[in-house]
């Protein structure tokens, strides 16, 4: 089992690299969560008595790995929530997808509609009345063996946005059975990793950025390319 790792911490923030198959917050399964792990980390490191205030400012889907920002104070949480709402935080993902996009670099604009009963999102080329406009930018880095390694930068933050928009252009993420990939990964992951986050610190207003390299079977052939992204 791969465990979380801390990337950055100060009095207001904790940034953690989430492994695949960890829940950010609890659900009906009762499985361990990244939030609980992070609270225990803070509690033990700083010998804090009682409950630890720590809240995720955003989420990642369970089969997705990568960076998650936690707020250690209510003031930081309020400001981080506003930064995400106003789209002032830049997130960069890496993904391995089937085939390759028809245009190797570009932008995707769709209107997404989520079926809450099935927990599935559908993408449409036009707004059908209740869709949420969703935009992402992407760049193809490598194509080999019938798959592409791409960078993805979402400009909006919709549930399953990257997964469904890439599937819409016939490039489902490797391992993502929910959105059209035919074969599961052996570790139940999908090959999508939140690689980098750039933002203004919610308290001191300094520009900060964090990155975390992915782990697992998805990435063993691509680490050399991914390592170059952080230089």
Active-site entry in 36, 61, 176, 230: 61
Nearest to 106 by CA among 55, 58, 59, 151: 151
Query: 10 Å Cβ neighbour count for 127?
Result: 12
**What number of residues does the chain have?**
231
Partners of 91 in the beta sheet?
197
What is the C-alpha to C-alpha distance for residues 20 and 224, in angstroms, rounded to an integer?
21
Query: Pairing mode, if any, of strands 5-9 and 65-71?
Result: unpaired
Tokens of 174: 């490797």
Has 115 been annotated as catalytic? no
Residue whose token pair is 């990155």: 211
Q: What are the start-end ranges of the H helices in 13-73?
A: 34-45
HEC secondary structure over 71-127: ECCHHHHHHHHHHHHCCCCEEEEEEEEECCCCCCEEEEEEEEEEECCCCEEEEECCC
Just list the catalytic residues: 61
């Amino acid at each position: 089992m791969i465990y979380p790792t801390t990337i950055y911490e100060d009095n207001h923030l904790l940034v953690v690299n989430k492994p695949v198959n960890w829940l950010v917050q609890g659900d009906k399964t009762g499985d361990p969560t990244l939030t609980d792990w992070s609270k225990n980390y803070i509690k033990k490191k700083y010998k804090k008595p009682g409950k630890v205030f720590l809240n995720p400012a955003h989420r990642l889907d369970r089969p997705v790995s990568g960076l998650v920002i936690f707020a250690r104070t209510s003031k930081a949480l309020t400001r981080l929530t506003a930064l995400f709402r106003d789209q002032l935080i830049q997130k960069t993902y890496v993904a391995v997808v089937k085939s390759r996009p028809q245009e190797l670099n570009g932008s995707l604009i769709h209107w997404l509609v989520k079926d809450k009963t099935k927990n599935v999102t559908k993408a449409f080329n036009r707004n059908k009345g209740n869709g949420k406009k969703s935009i992402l930018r992407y760049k193809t880095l490598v194509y080999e063996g019938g798959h592409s390694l791409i960078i993805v930068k979402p400009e909006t933050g919709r549930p399953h946005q990257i997964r469904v928009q890439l599937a819409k252009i016939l490039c489902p993420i490797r391992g993502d059975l929910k959105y059209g990939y035919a074969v599961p990964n052996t570790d139940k992951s999908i090959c999508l990793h939140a690689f980098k986050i750039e933002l203004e610190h919610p308290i001191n207003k300094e520009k900060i950025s964090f990155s975390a390299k992915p782990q697992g079977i998805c990435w063993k052939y691509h680490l050399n390319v991914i390592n170059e992204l952080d230089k």
